[in-house]
A and B are shown apart, each in its own frame.
Chain A
Amino acid sequence: MTKNVPETPASQAELKELAARALAVRKGCLESIASLGVGHIGGSMSVVEALVALYFRHMRLDPADAKAADRDLFVLSKGHAGPALYATLAEKGYLDRALLPTLNKGGTRLPSHADRRLTPGVDMSTGSLGQGFSAASGMALGLKMDGPRPDGTMRRCWAIIGDGESDEGQVWEAAAFAAHYKLDNFIAFTDFNKYQIDGSTDEVMRLHDLVAKWEAFGWAALRVDGHDLAALDAAILKARGMKDRPVMIVLDTVKAKGIPAFEGKAESHNAPFGAAELATTLAALDATAEKEAQHGR
């Protein structure tokens, strides 16, 4: 059985706790990638705060029972951010943290892209971009068919798509579908880190005004700093209150957030990242965390 989630904004103490979780997830993710020496660091780092806000505050889950019948569902449609999801699942207690270094090694339960057959807590296999989001819309519909929980709350489906992923036509097929069926138990995020594999989204395929696009498709749409836990918390709370429409929260994020050598660079999408880079990055992350603690953030 899952427990209900908070209905009020996170307190300063709770935000501090979320920040500590985000730091731990970032470190766990980078350690797993460094153990292999290469991986999707950029798009993993940009979704850490969103994952932490969901798993540690807004999603109804039971880590002791990954398949709890009354749980919310989550789809990492940008499946290549699997390493960030695994670190989050480990931090939440779904996975033994000792599994993280098995990432992408033969026989692992933690493959590059999220896989529902392999990893406890993963609800949909993703990686071919656009497909996870489309399946998530079907999952939201399936939850609606099942009706509310005994306590009257509706099970939700949550999803994260990438900005590059938003080039995919299937995203917009699903967007129209979710709005048409008024799936207000469907809350999604766009990780707008401004870079895709071949360059910036402006260079490769301009996205124009994402909020306007989602609104034009019949969604409610918000835009927020995807690394600001307080702002993120407030946006998700607002989204949870929306009726009759699915909600897209566009996250302004920084690709490779927290890795000084790679922050905001297209090259960070899938990059070499070994022991030396890890040591430098962990030191930088600790220094940043200390500075933020001193400034009361």
Chain B
Amino acid sequence: MADREMRAAYAQALVALAADDRRICVVEADLAKATGTGPFAKAYPDRFFNVGVAEANLVGVASGLAATGKKPFAATFGCFASRRAYDQFFLSANYAGLNVTLVGTDPGVTAAFNGGTHMPLEDLALMRAVPGLTIVEPADPSAVEAAVREAAASDGCTYIRLQRKPAPDIYPAGEAFKAGEAKVLAEGGDVLLVALGALMVGEARKAALLLKAEGLAATVLDLYSLAPIDREAVLKYARLTGRVVSCENHRVTGGVGSAVAEILAEEGVPAKLRRIGAGADEFGEVGTQDWLAERFKLTAPHIAAAAKSMM
């Protein structure tokens, strides 16, 4: 089966939900063509709103809609969703106790040709600092659909970090997901590869195969949500293997690697940790996604090398 566009899964999930729930609405900031919510606009024109190039107001309007009982899904590039509209999302949506789903597209190096200005390598770190916020980065189209359903059913706010581009199916259609429950994609006793999002879960799975060829058995965890994080799964496999590689399409500060380090340190788990991600002092750059993934050492060979460095 050909890889499905993640954004198509997002739009389809919204259209499907909206049929039974009049509260579902979509708010865009002149990036509807990028987000791919055209099918929603066509199906439900009276529940589709474009605020123009105005990300602060995007989140403000979504919060206002939520205050009248709607379930808004607001989307923009992840760099704007996090860095530009952070205070709006923090206060008007989260602090105010409303149900707003903010979708940040083009995470990390998937921003590719839009380059360093548009490359969110810190959105997870920023969002992790918001109390009570659910942070999800789906690894395949089925996970996207689940994330949309979960966010709509939630009482609070959700940040969905959404790669728009196609990704291979990992899970069967209709697979159930729950924030805070990681998926175990492989089990092995030598190292834990803990990954988030389509790009990194894919690279971690490839890295497990590289390691297998060298006689090393890796556990691969798809975290699905960074907040809440599946503490029990991380602990279980960190204790089992004693070696952990965190894999994120993000800077190594404040995201997956940091969250895992906190868990290991707090529980006194004697495990080594290597963090795959853009360096703490690096900004994003322009290039193809493949070139950038190599540039920031996000690919399977780098993950496998990091694992072996701890053996």
Q: Interface on A for B, CB 8 Å cutoff?
A: 73, 116-117, 123-125, 127-128, 130-143, 145-146, 157, 169-170, 173-174, 176-177, 180-181
Contact = CB atoms under 8 A, between A and B. Distances in A.
B279 interface: no
B98 to A, nearest CB: 8
B49 A135 contact: no
B52 interface: yes
B49 A174 contact: no
A142 B57 contact: no
B61 A134 contact: yes
B70 A137 contact: no
B64 A117 contact: no
Nearest to B93: A135
A119 to B, nearest CB: 12
Nearest to B56: A170
- Interface size class of chain B, counting residues whose CB lies under 8 Å from the partner chain: 20 to 34
A155 B47 CA distance: 18
Interface in B21-71: 25, 46-47, 49, 51-52, 54, 56-57, 59-70
B70 A131 contact: no
Interface of B: 25, 46-47, 49, 51-52, 54, 56-57, 59-70, 72, 87-88, 91-92, 95-97
B68 A135 contact: no
Given A145-B47, A176-B54, A177-B61, A116 B96 contact: yes
Nearest to A174: B57
Given A131-B88, A134-B92, A142 B60 contact: no
A145 B56 contact: no
B63 A177 contact: no
Contacts of B67: 73, 116, 123-124, 135, 138-139, 142
Contacts of A140: 64
A257 B171 CA distance: 65
A177 B56 contact: no
Indicate the member of A124, A125, A140 with the most B CB atoms within 10 Å.
A125
Contact of A131 (B46, B47, B60, B68): B60
Nearest to B63: A135
A138 B96 contact: no
A139 B98 CA distance: 12
Contacts of B70: 142, 145
Given A116-B97, A137-B60, A146 B68 contact: yes
Contacts of B57: 134, 137, 170, 173-174, 177
A133 B63 CA distance: 11
A78 to B, nearest CB: 15
Contacts of B46: 145
Q: Which 5 A-B pairs have the closest CB atoms?
A: A138-B64, A134-B60, A142-B68, A138-B61, A173-B57
Contacts of A176: 52, 54
B59 to A, nearest CB: 8
A133 B25 CA distance: 20
A131 B61 contact: no
Contacts of A138: 60-68, 72
A254 to B, nearest CB: 30
Nearest to B46: A145
A145 B71 CA distance: 12
B92 A125 contact: yes
Contact of B65 (A132, A141, A169): A141
A171 to B, nearest CB: 9
Contact of A124 (B54, B87, B88, B96): B96
A68 to B, nearest CB: 13
B64 A139 contact: yes
A169 to B, nearest CB: 7
A176 B61 CA distance: 12
Contact of B56 (A117, A130, A146): A130
